[in-house]
């Protein structure tokens, strides 16, 4: 359902060109749970931004459900994002002025869903993450783990088929991180495709499929195998 | 979605109360100052009788020798000589028409009850009441016979009727103007014209006359006019009769012409009249020179909107521009702090248009609040105008259209101020939110 | 050392802020230069010397509606009644009152009308007032040259009579009529009737301060009584309001078939005539004060904004050894650059606006002095508006540079 072929992203400033992604190829199938790892500056986040249509790419082709993203306008991308994709950020990124209920409601509002249905869906999603009783709280009144669960509920509210998570446990202690991970696994089992960027090898290991990004490219898996066999020096820790 | 945007705006105001307050003060001051001057301008320039102003005409005749110049821009005198006013009045033209001139009398009831007081008095034909839509609360205009016979009849204002008769129906009663007893035939309702457009001679915004009497009384009563009298050549004028026969201009004249055809035929009449007067040897001119101005042209020609007012209105709008620039600065600061939040919203599927609209709604709400506060400031300003210059009492007020204009101008100004900052935030790269950490 | 180079590049990056500042400074300069000039012009006009002790003189109008056998006799009696009032210096009945906005004016010539073909024939506009010999004392003016009216000069009449053969004129009229300076003793004419100029008053304004010839006034010894009659009375300044309070009752007691109106001091008459100008002055002053406040606030706000964007940068500079004064100077220089640009635009705008006002409206030409003074004022205010936030910025702790926010 997600196909990237030779996708490249070049940032051009006045003096230098930086290749954030180069000839990036990836095929993701329905229902997969993929962990993306790689060193800082390797292009993980750029990949996630492009996958989530937050950024455009410089060349190559990206198909989502058969739709060629490169041909879409900004508004069409916004709509598609709203319908198909849920985001979970490392910093939670809850809107501080809005209470829990309203935060989860945001993507539904942009989709133009009627008030009654919005309410039902928000409640459903908050129940799902175990926060059904804290509707009126503001984000800063919750713990980090609770905030991230709100963010997950918000990502789920639009019933996306794709969840993109950027270091979802990066700001959490290990207990909370595990709870969040379990929640993601449950969501995956219920049918959503998840791509998760992480630094945490333990978390990555729990994902059925791992991808390592190095220098804007997926590290050659065969090479990776050789590393494990000890014939080549390790490129990066997995 | 609008309700949601409004809700978000209110939250945003609460989050940055200081900036919001500054912006509201800026727009309120801008609107307050602008509306103060604009309200006066609006009242000055407003059409006093929109349904009829294009049909009422004031003629101006050039009855001077060729080469003698007047000081007006088109070289025509503002007023008419008695000879011309009388001739135009008596001409056999099927149109409503009236000569008009102002005087003043001591008004009393010839008893000890009421101390005599001065009132301005206007001499007119009874057509005047119809032409200027005067409404009566008691009685009505005097008859055509009274116009012709010079009967001592009068129409007084409701205000004067209150003073003299305690507001009772005074039709048929006697009132004295100087030593002369007049019979009251009608009491008219208060004028609601803010500009005294039928006679601009001594100030366009003076109060209208409280007493009207037939024009034909001018000769028997030897009425001395109040207002301007202008001459262009030396005449040895000693008696009232000398003045009537002179080339002094001191009367106004109005004629109602309902169609373009009537206007054309009246212009033909004036051409013939002036040609005939020249033939009679009254003045030495080769060309026929006159003009016929309707009410709005007349107001414009007489510079009813003062230059000072125009200058102040212009400067006020420049001031409003400064306020707008100020608000742009504050909005830039405020909106740019919100970039991370906007990034999240964009990531969650908000389109640029939705983000843009949200911010425009916010600035519009700002404009609405500032505009409403601006009305209060404008009221203070107008109070200041009235207390400085009582002559502007009727002008330094806001009518309904100005009350509506104030928030509209404020909202418009705020939207203009908000366009660039809103455009900046809605172009926030949604990927921004992933990189903030 | 002034950090102009880094300042300019920083400015380039925050174009919008600098542009807004520039616009505000430019418009403020353009408005304030012109408005202050108009205010000065009007204040000069309103407070001009009229030649009269305005706080001592008052006037009123008397409308007699009763049947009076000999009106001029009655006016003389009323005049006498006024002169006998305690506190009154002198009183006189006149056909019109200086500074009141109501009166008569005409063209006067240096030759009779039947000689108007002559080359040196000249006409000069002047207002004229007819009264008896008490007019000078009542108005509080002195004869500078020549003589005043004698009782024998004065024509007292109930009907329009021939004008008297003598007149006393203001210096301004005399100099315009007889530019050679030999006017005293010469004749002036209206039609073919001539009058000899027997005296000159240094300064006395006519009825209309906005007339094309406000300083040209003729006094003629001619007292024609009328049913609508004006009176001028002079008292000591401290007695005036008391005398004014007694006038109506006293005059009605003498004869009650008459009405007194327009009873007011000369200063009040003048203020009424000039009320529109006072209004203009007040409106412009309010406008300028608010404008300067708003502009100062705007500069203040933008500087705060600029600083908040650069908190970390300032911290880093401090950590690298920049002194507080260097930080303050940095912002002062930055603001000054924008301000100078804004002033350049504003001065051009002020001159343009002034030229527009002069050609479109009857306003005098803008004096450059006002533009320069305004520009300096705006510059100082803008520096002051920057000082507070810049000092605050200088107090930013260098440790902020090491924090990762």
Which pLDDT tens digit goes with each residue over C348-373?
Answer: 999 999 999 888 887 888 888 999 99
Tell me the C-alpha distance between A60 and B390, whole Å: 78
Cα nearest neighbour of B16 on chain A: A97
CB atoms within 10 A of CB B294: 16
Chain B neighbors (3+ CB pairs < 8 Å): A, C
pLDDT tops 70 at residue C402: no
Which of B348, B435, B437 has its CB closest to that of A107? Answer: B348
- Give the integer Cα–Cα distance in Å for B358 and B342: 10
Determine the distance in angstroms separating the CA of B110 from the nearest CA of chain C, rounded to an integer.
Answer: 10
DSSP state letter for C211: S
Reduced to 3 states (helix: H, G, I; strand: E, B; else coil), residue B373 is helix
pLDDT for the residue C239: 95
Q: Return the CATH number at A22.
A: 3.40.50.300
Q: Which band of pLDDT confidence, cut at 50, 70 and 90, is reported for residue C2?
A: very low
* Residue closest to B295 by CA, chosen among B370, B198, B206: B198
Q: What digits encode the pLDDT tens for the residues B75-116?
A: 899 999 999 999 999 999 989 999 999 999 999 998 888 899
pLDDT of res. C263: 96
User: Can you give the residue range of the structural domain that contains A8?
Assistant: 2-99+159-237
Nearest chain B residue to A79, by CA:
B349
Q: Give contacts of B 41-100 with C, CB under 8 A.
A: none
Dist. CA B118–CA B105, nearest whole Å: 6
Of the candidates B108, B315, B389, the beta carbon closest to that of C31 is on B315
> What pLDDT is stored for residue A214 in this prediction?
86
Structure token digits, residue C190: 């209206």
Query: Which among A75, A106, A154 has CB closest to B351?
Result: A75
Q: Report pLDDT digits (tens) over B144-155.
A: 999 998 899 999
**Mind listing the pLDDT tens digit for each residue in B363-378?**
999 999 999 999 999 9
Interchain contact, B437 vs A111, CB within 8 Å: no
Residue A186 lies in a domain: yes
CA distance A43 to chain B (A): 12
Between chains, do A75 and B437 touch, taking CB under 8 Å as contact? Answer: no
Tokens of B111: 């008893």
Task: Tell me which residue in B345, B349, B437 faces A79 most closely, judged by beta carbons.
Answer: B349
Out of B20-34, B185-199, B372-386, C309-323, pick the least confident.
C309-323
**Average pLDDT for A98-123:** 89
Residue B60 CA from chain centroid, whole number: 22
The CA dihedral of A117, A122, A125, A126, to the nearest 10 degrees, is -150
Chain B residue numbers touching A171 (CB-CB < 8 A)? 437
Among A32-36, A53-57, C41-45, whose mean pLDDT is lowest? A53-57
Interface contact flag, B351 A106, Cβ < 8 Å: no
Q: Would you say C287 and B315 are in contact if contact means Cβ atoms under 8 Å apart?
A: yes
Q: Looking at CA atoms only, how far is residue C275 from chain B in angstroms?
A: 6
The confidence score (pLDDT) of residue B435 equals 53
Task: State how beta strands B249-256 and B96-108 pair.
Answer: antiparallel
Distances (CA, A) of B313 to B30, B48, B138, B320, C347: 12, 21, 42, 10, 21
User: Given pLDDT bands bounded at 50, 70 and 90, which one contains residue B59?
Assistant: very high
What is the SS3 assignment for A55?
A: coil
Work out the minimum CA distance from B371 to partner chain A, whole angstroms. Answer: 26
Q: Among all residues of chain B, which has the CA nearest to that of C354?
A: B311
Question: Would A202 be classed as within a structural domain?
Answer: yes
Say yes or no for a CB contact (<8 Å) between B437 and A55.
no
- CB distance B321 to B417 below 8 Å: no
On the question of pLDDT at C109 being above 50, the answer is yes
- Closest residue in B to C113 (Cα–Cα): B234
How far apart, in whole angstroms, are the C-alpha atoms of residue C105 and residue C305?
64
**Nearest CA to CA, how far is B189 from chain A (Å)?**
57
Res A17 pLDDT > 90: no
Of C20, C38, C228, the CB nearest to B329: C20
Q: Is the pLDDT of residue C285 over 80?
A: yes
Say what percent of chain C tops pLDDT 90: 61
Q: Using one digit for the tens of pLDDT, what is the confidence trace for A202-213?
A: 888 888 888 888
pLDDT at C14: 66
> In this predicted structure, what is the pLDDT of residue B233?
82
Q: Is A147 on the interface with B (CB under 8 A)?
A: no
Q: Can you tell me the distance from the alpha carbon of A71 to that of A171, in angstroms, rounded to the nearest whole number?
A: 36
Mean pLDDT, chain A, rounded, equals 83
pLDDT for C396 beyond 80: no
pLDDT tens digits, B183-241: 999 999 988 788 889 999 888 888 889 999 999 999 999 999 998 888 888 888 888 99
| Residues of chain B positioned with their CB less than 8 A from the CB of A48 | 434
Q: Give chain A's domain count.
A: 1
Helices (H) and strands (E) in chain A, counts: 8, 10
Model confidence pLDDT, tens digit, residues A64-104:
888 898 888 888 888 888 888 888 888 888 888 888 998 89
pLDDT tens figures, A151-207: 888 988 888 888 998 888 877 888 888 888 888 898 899 888 999 988 888 888 888
Yes or no, beta carbons of B346 and A54 under 8 Å apart: yes
Question: Which chain B residues contact residue A78 at CB under 8 A?
Answer: 346, 349-352
The three-state secondary structure class of B191 is: coil
Q: Which residues of B touch A89 (CB under 8 A)?
A: 344, 433-434, 437
Residue of chain B nearest A96, judged by CA positions = B341
- Report CB contact under 8 Å: B322, C295: yes
Q: What is the mean pLDDT of residues B244-252?
A: 94
Q: Do chains A and C touch (3 or more CB pairs under 8 A)?
A: no
Q: Flag the least confident range among B69-73, B349-353, C236-240.
A: B69-73
Of residues C297 and C77, the one with the higher pLDDT is C77
Segment C194-218 mean pLDDT? 94
Query: Chain C: residue nearest B238 by CA?
Result: C160
Mean of pLDDT values over C32-48: 93
| B418 shares contact with chain C (CB less than 8 Å) | no
Instruction: Using CB atoms, pick whichever of A45, A78, A158 lies closest to residue B346.
Output: A78
- What is the model's pTM? 0.84
CB-CB neighbors (< 8 A) of C278 in chain B:
388-389
Strands C143-146 and C193-201: antiparallel
Taking one residue from A and the other from B, the number of pairs with CB-CB distance under 8 angstroms is 81
How far is B270 from chain C, CA to nearest CA, in Å?
30
Is the per-residue pLDDT at B53 higher than 90? yes
* Chain B nearest CA to C142, separation (Å): 31
In a domain, A150, yes or no: no
**Spatial separation of the C-alpha atoms in residues C191 and C185, rounded to whole Å:** 19
Of the ranges A216-220, C20-24, C88-92, the best mean pLDDT one: C88-92
ipTM of the complex: 0.88
pLDDT at B432 over 70: no
Among B434, B435, B436, B437, which would you mutate to test the A interface (most chain A Cβ atoms within 10 Å of its Cβ)?
B434
Task: Find the range with the poorest average confidence among A210-224, B91-105, C96-110, C241-255.
Answer: A210-224
Contacting residues of B for A112, CB less than 8 Å apart? 1
CB contacts of B431 in chain A (<8 Å) are: 49, 54-55
DSSP B136-189: EEEE-PPPHHHHHHT--EEEEEHHHHHHHHTTS--TT-EEEETTEEEEEEEEEP
Which tokens in the block code for residue B265? Answer: 């035929």
C-alpha separations of A102 from A137, C250, C268, C276, C371 in Å: 10, 83, 67, 58, 55
Cβ atoms B19, B328 nearer than 8 A? no
Can you give the pLDDT at residue A235?
43
Cβ pair A83:B349 closer than 8 A: yes
| Among C105, C257, C287, C288, the residue to mutate for chain B (most B Cβ within 10 A) | C287
User: Stretch C294-301: mean pLDDT, rounded?
Assistant: 85
B140 within 8 A of B122, measured Cβ to Cβ: no
Q: C198 with C146: CB under 8 angstroms?
A: yes
What's the pLDDT score for residue B202? Answer: 80
Q: Test C279 with B392 for CB contact under 8 angstroms.
A: yes
- What distance in Å separates the CA atoms of residue A66 and residue A3, rounded to the nearest whole number? 8
B chain contacts of residue C308, beta-carbon cutoff 8 Å: 333
> What is the residue extent of each domain of chain B?
2-47+306-435, 63-288
Angle between helices C15-46 and B307-336 (to 10 degrees): 150
Instruction: Closest CB to A97: pick one of B4, B11, B348.
Output: B11
With beta carbons less than 8 A apart as the criterion, state whether B32 and B378 touch: yes
CB contact under 8 A, B322 and C304: no
Least confident among B91-105, B285-299, C24-38, C361-375: C361-375
Strand order in the sheet with A209-214: A85-88, A162-166, A193-197, A33-37, A209-214, A217-218
Q: How many CB atoms lie within 10 A of CB C84?
A: 10
Residue A179's H or E segment, with its range, is: helix A174-189
């Amino acid at each position: 359902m997600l196909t990237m072929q030779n996708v490249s992203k070049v940032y051009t400033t006045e003096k230098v060109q930086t290749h954030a992604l180069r000839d990036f190829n990836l095929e993701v199938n329905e229902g997969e749970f993929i962990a993306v790892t790689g060193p800082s500056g390797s292009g993980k986040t750029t990949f996630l931004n492009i996958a989530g249509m937050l950024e455009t790419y410089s060349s190559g082709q990206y198909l989502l459900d058969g739709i060629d993203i490169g041909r879409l306008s900004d508004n069409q991308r916004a709509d598609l994002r709203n319908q198909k994709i849920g985001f979970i950020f490392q910093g939670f990124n809850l809107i501080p002025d809005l209470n829990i209920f309203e935060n989860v409601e945001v993507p539904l509002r942009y989709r133009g869903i009627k008030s009654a249905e919005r309410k039902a869906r928000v409640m459903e999603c908050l129940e799902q993450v175990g926060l059904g009783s804290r509707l009126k709280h503001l984000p800063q009144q919750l713990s980090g783990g609770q905030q991230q669960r709100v963010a997950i509920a918000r990502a789920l509210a639009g019933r996306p088929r794709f969840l993109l998570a950027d270091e979802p446990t990066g700001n959490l202690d290990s207990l909370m991180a595990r709870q969040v991970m379990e929640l993601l696994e449950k969501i995956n089992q219920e049918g959503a495709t998840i791509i998760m960027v992480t630094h945490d090898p333990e978390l990555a290991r729990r994902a059925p499929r791992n991808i390592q990004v190095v220098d804007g490219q997926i590290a050659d898996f065969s090479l990776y195998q050789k590393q494990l066999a000890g014939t080549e020096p390790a490129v990066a820790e997995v | 979605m609008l309700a949601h945007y409004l809700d978000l705006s209110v939250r945003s105001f609460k989050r940055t109360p200081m900036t919001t307050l500054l912006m509201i003060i800026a727009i309120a001051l801008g609107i307050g100052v602008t509306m103060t001057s604009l309200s006066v301008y609006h009242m000055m320039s407003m059409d006093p009788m929109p349904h009829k102003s294009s049909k009422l005409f004031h003629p101006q005749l050039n009855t001077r020798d060729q080469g003698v110049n007047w000081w007006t821009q088109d070289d025509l005198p503002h007023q008419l000589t008695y000879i011309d006013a009388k001739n135009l009045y008596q001409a056999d033209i099927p149109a409503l028409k009236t000569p008009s001139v102002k005087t003043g009398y001591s008004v009393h009831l010839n008893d000890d009850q009421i101390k005599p007081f001065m009132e301005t008095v206007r001499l007119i034909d009874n057509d005047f009441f119809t032409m200027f839509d005067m409404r009566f609360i008691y009685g009505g205009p005097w008859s055509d016979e009274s116009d012709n016979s010079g009967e001592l009849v009068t129409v007084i204002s409701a205000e004067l009727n209150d003073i003299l008769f305690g507001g009772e129906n005074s039709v048929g009663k006697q009132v004295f103007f100087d030593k002369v007893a007049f019979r009251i035939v009608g009491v008219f309702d208060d004028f609601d014209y803010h500009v005294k457009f039928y006679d601009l001679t001594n100030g366009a915004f003076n109060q209208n006359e409280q007493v009207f009497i037939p024009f034909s009384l001018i000769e028997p009563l030897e009425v001395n006019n109040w207002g301007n009298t202008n001459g262009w050549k030396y005449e040895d004028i000693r008696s009232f009769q000398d003045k009537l026969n002179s080339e002094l201009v001191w009367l106004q004249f109005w004629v109602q012409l309902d169609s373009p055809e009537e206007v054309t035929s009246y212009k033909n009449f004036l051409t013939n009249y002036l040609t005939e007067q020249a033939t009679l040897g009254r003045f030495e001119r080769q060309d026929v020179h006159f003009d016929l101005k309707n009410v709005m042209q007349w107001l414009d020609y007489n510079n009813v909107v003062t230059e000072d007012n125009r200058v102040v209105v212009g400067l006020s709008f420049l001031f409003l521009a400064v306020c707008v620039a100020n608000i742009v600065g504050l909005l830039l600061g405020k909106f740019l702090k919100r970039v991370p939040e906007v990034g999240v919203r964009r990531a969650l599927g908000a389109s640029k248009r939705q983000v843009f609209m949200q911010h425009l709604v916010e600035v519009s709400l700002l404009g609405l609040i500032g505009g409403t506060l601006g009305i209060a400031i404008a009221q203070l300003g107008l109070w200041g105008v009235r207390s400085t210059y009582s002559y502007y009492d009727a002008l330094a007020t806001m009518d309904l259209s100005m009350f509506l204009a104030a928030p509209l101008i404020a909202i418009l100004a705020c939207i203009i101020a908000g366009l660039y900052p809103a455009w900046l935030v809605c172009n926030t790269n949604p990927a921004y939110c992933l990189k903030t950490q | 050392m002034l950090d102009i180079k880094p300042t300019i590049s920083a400015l380039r990056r925050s174009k919008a802020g600098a542009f807004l500042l520039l616009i505000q400074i430019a418009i403020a300069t353009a408005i304030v230069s012109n408005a202050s000039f108009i205010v000065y012009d009007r204040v000069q006009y309103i407070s001009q010397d009229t030649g009269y002790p305005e706080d001592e003189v008052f006037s009123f109008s008397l409308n007699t509606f009763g049947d009076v056998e000999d009106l001029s006799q009655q006016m003389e009696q009323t005049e006498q009644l006024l002169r006998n009032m305690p506190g009154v210096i002198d009183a006189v009945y006149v056909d019109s009152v200086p500074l009141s906005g109501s009166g008569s004016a005409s063209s006067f010539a240096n030759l009779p009308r039947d000689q108007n073909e002559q080359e040196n024939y000249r006409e000069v506009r002047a207002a004229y007032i007819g009264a008896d010999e008490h007019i000078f004392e009542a108005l509080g003016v002195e004869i500078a040259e020549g003589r005043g009216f004698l009782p024998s000069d004065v024509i007292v009449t109930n009907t329009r009579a021939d004008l008297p053969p003598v007149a006393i004129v203001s210096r301004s009229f005399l100099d315009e009529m007889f530019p050679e300076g030999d006017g005293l003793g010469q004749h002036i004419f209206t039609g073919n009737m001539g009058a000899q100029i027997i005296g000159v008053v240094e300064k006395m304004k006519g009825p209309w301060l906005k007339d094309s010839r406000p300083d040209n006034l003729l006094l003629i010894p001619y007292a024609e009584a009328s049913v609508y009659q004006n009176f001028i009375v002079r008292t000591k300044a401290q007695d005036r309001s008391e005398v004014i309070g007694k006038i109506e009752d006293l005059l009605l007691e003498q004869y009650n078939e008459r009405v007194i109106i327009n009873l007011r001091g000369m200063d009040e008459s003048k203020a009424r005539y000039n009320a529109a100008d006072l209004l203009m002055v007040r409106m412009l002053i309010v406008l300028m004060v608010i404008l300067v406040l708003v502009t100062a606030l705007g500069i203040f706000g933008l500087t705060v904004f600029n600083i908040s964007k650069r908190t970390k940068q300032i911290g880093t500079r401090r950590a690298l050894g920049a002194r507080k004064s260097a930080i303050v100077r940095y912002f002062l220089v930055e603001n000054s650059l924008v301000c100078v640009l804004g002033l350049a635009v504003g001065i051009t705008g002020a001159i343009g606006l002034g030229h527009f006002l002069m050609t479109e409206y009857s306003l005098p030409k803008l004096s450059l002095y006002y533009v320069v003074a305004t520009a300096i004022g705006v510059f100082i205010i803008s520096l002051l508006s920057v000082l507070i936030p810049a000092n605050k910025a200088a107090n930013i702790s260098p440790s902020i540079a090491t924090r990762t926010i």
